[in-house]
Amino acid sequence: MRTYLIAATSAAILGVSVSAFAQQAVGTADEAKAMLMKAVAAVKSDRDVALAMFNKGEGGFRDRDLYVFCSRASDGKGLARRAASRYDRC
């Protein structure tokens, strides 16, 4: 009986830990939309500063798996890309 309780408790703790980690690993659609609206406002305010912030991931433009990227419509040239993260693999 004691072994069963220990196993059940361990499984419950592991399940909660995995669930908590998974919730923190990805952003939501609402968070992505909020970041998009913030990015549009930043570009309208000062394009060059906004692009620098996007590239560096500063100002809240890098959050878990959410990031801002921009390319010029006329030629497709990338102006801002995903900022590196400490979680990226080499």
Instruction: Give the mean pLDDT of 62-86.
Output: 83
pLDDT, greater one: 21 or 70? 70
Tell me the two tokens of residue 75: 């030629």
| pLDDT at 49 exceeding the cut of 90 | yes
Among 87, 83, 84, CA closest to 51: 83
| Position 81 confidence tier, pLDDT thresholds 50, 70, 90 | confident
> For 80, phi and psi rounded to 5 degrees?
-140, 140
| pLDDT at 90 exceeding the cut of 50 | no
Among 86, 89, 81, 47, CA closest to 61: 81
